[in-house]
C-alpha cells in the first residue's frame, strides 16, 4: 500500500463549501483546508485495514428457494369463521373500541 497522503485541492474545497452552504468569507480557508485534509487522512488510516470480510455474513440469510411457493389456496369459509368466535355477525368481527376520547 502506498504511503501517499491524500489532500483536498482548492476546487474540491470550494465545492464542499458550496454544498455545506458556507461562505469563504466567513471561514479561514487555511484552517478549513487543514481540517478537511485531516478528515481525509482518517480515511487513509481506515483504508489500511482489511475490509474483505462481508459485513452481511453476521446476519442470517434467507434463501429464495427455501421460501414457500406462491400459490393460491382457498381461505376459510364463512361457516368455519363463525365457529371460531361468537362475535362474528353479518360478515364482520366485533372488536373492542380502540380509539378513546382524544381521537
Residue 96 to residue 98: CA distance in whole angstroms: 6
- Here the cell at position 85 is 368466535
Q: What's residue 102's pLDDT?
A: 59
pLDDT the model gives residue 1: 45
Instruction: Report whether pLDDT(79) > 80.
Output: yes
Name which residue leads in pLDDT, 88 or 57.
88
Mean pLDDT of 64-73: 77
Q: How far is CA 25 from CA 22, 28, 29, 68, 102, in A?
A: 9, 8, 9, 63, 52
Mean pLDDT value across residues 63-69:
70
Prediction pTM value = 0.42
Q: Mean of the per-residue pLDDT values for the chain?
A: 79
Amino acid at each position: 500500500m502506498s504511503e501517499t497522503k491524500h489532500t483536498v485541492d482548492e476546487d474540491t474545497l470550494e465545492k464542499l463549501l458550496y454544498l455545506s452552504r458556507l461562505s469563504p468569507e466567513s471561514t479561514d480557508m487555511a484552517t478549513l483546508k487543514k481540517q478537511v485534509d485531516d478528515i481525509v487522512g482518517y480515511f487513509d488510516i481506515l483504508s489500511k485495514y482489511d475490509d474483505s470480510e462481508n459485513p452481511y455474513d453476521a446476519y442470517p440469510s434467507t434463501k429464495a428457494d427455501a421460501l414457500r411457493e406462491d400459490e393460491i389456496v382457498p381461505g376459510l369459509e364463512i361457516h368455519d369463521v363463525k365457529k371460531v368466535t361468537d362475535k362474528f355477525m353479518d360478515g364482520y368481527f366485533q372488536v373492542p373500541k380502540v380509539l378513546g376520547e382524544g381521537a
